Amino acid sequence: MLSIDDIRTLKRANPLAEVAARCGLELCRTGSSYTGRCPFHHDQGRPNLSICCFTDASDDFFHCFRCGAGGDVIRFVRLLDNLSFPEAVARLQGTAPIQRANRPAPITRTTAPQWGLAERACLAAAVTLYHHSLLDDVQALGYLSERGLHRSTIERCRVGYVAGDELARYLAWRRLPLRAAFRVGLLKPGGRETFAGRIVVPELRSAQPIWLIGRVLGEPRAETPKYLGLPGRGRKPLLGWESAVGEACPIVVESVFDWLTLRSWGMGGLALLGTRVRPRVLNALSRFEHFYLALNSDVAGREAAQLLVDTFGQRALPVELPGVKDVSELAPLPDGRERFLRALNPWPVRAAA
């Protein structure tokens, strides 16, 4: 456990401008501060990132005038590679290399696609870009707000928005191989972005994305699928695995927005991302002694829930949703969380961190 003094010492040993330069940023000095292109959005034209340096380097901070990213050197490293606080501290202490992490995320055998280092680096960069694009997009933020999702949930779950014309240039600028982005399915032949126009949600393992799913912003046109997962070699995992594994009785829901709703309420759970219950889903659920089933209250949802009850017996606890079609409909309601908690009775659920 580091004290405030330890953190200050660590920051003094890692002046922000030096760390940014080691991470590949080209910086221009003006007096005691530096400017450069912001690594957290596709920074075109005049550079938007400002790094302010002080005699005591523990006071150094950065700010982007376009996307609003900002903070100290630890925040910078965290944002750049989507690291937790302890991971960023370890990186700065030199126990982990300062260049891109490229460390293998723990893979859960039944549910996680496996990628090479270059693919994982591209996926992590895409999640960073898309997340900051969302924070800069009034329409996409408005859509999420209407659905009851606030900034803290968006940040915790690294939710993003894909404008659709930024990824290739951003990856080139980060010196990441475009071919890997094609292999992982982020780019389509011709260079178009797979998730253009969609809200995207990553599946994170040890803070690193292993997969992405996107939902059309607003109502989709007839020929457009509402949801789209990362295509290709990456198999569809269960969304939210790490929020569920620590729970005594996790909540199984159907869609991305149901799961985001659980997270906004501080509850752990998993999204099946559909109603097809494959053998590997059964295999994954078999590790839980009990779990709630809060699937949609339509025919497909009830059939999937019945199949799970038939398979797991009393370990699967079906939830009668309180007058709504799915969990996400409760998110914008002022008493949505309370109504859901009442529906979980008589089995109290522990609120996750």
Can you give the binding site for Zn ion, defined by CB under 5 A? 38, 40-41, 64, 66-67
Q: Could you tell me the smallest distance in angstroms from the CB atom of residue 133 to Zn ion?
A: 10
Minimum distance from CB of 153 to Zn ion (Å)?
21
Sheet holding 316-318, edge to edge: 269-271, 251-253, 291-293, 316-318
CB of 351 to Zn ion, least distance (A): 33
Which C-beta is closer to Zn ion: that of 43 or that of 203? 43
Between CA 240 and CA 142, with CA 214 as vertex, the angle to 5 degrees is 100
Nearer to Zn ion, 35 or 306 (CB): 35
Cβ 181 to Zn ion shortest distance, Å: 20
Cα(95)–Cα(77) distance, integer angstroms: 14
The C-alpha atoms of residue 131 and residue 142 are separated, in whole angstroms, by 15
| CB-CB contact of 240 with 263 (8 Å) | yes
Least distance from Zn ion to the Cβ atom of residue 85, Å = 21
Pick the closer one to Zn ion by CB: 64 or 319: 64
| Residue with smaller CB distance to Zn ion, 38 or 80 | 38
Cα separation, 320 vs 304, whole angstroms: 14
- DSSP, collapsed to helix, strand or coil, labels residue 340 as helix
CA dist list (Å): 307 to 17, 60, 119, 290, 302: 57, 56, 36, 15, 9
Q: Which residues pair with 70 in a beta bridge?
A: 63
CA 225 to chain centre: 21
- Which residue lies nearer to Zn ion by CB, 49 or 294? 49
Nearest approach, Cβ of 40 to Zn ion (angstroms)?
5
Which backbone phi and psi does 235 adopt, to 5 degrees? -80, 150
Instruction: Specify the residue, 66 or 337, whose C-beta has the smaller distance to Zn ion.
Output: 66
**Cβ-contact 347, 290 below 8 angstroms:** yes
Run of H or E including 336: helix 336-344
Q: Nearest distance from residue 6's CB to Zn ion, in Å? A: 29
In the complex with Zn ion, which residue's Cβ is closer, 44 or 283? 44
Tell the smallest beta-carbon distance from residue 80 to Zn ion (Å).
12
Closer Cβ to Zn ion, 68 or 220, answer by number: 68
| DSSP secondary structure, 313-327, as one string | GGGEEE---SSSSSG
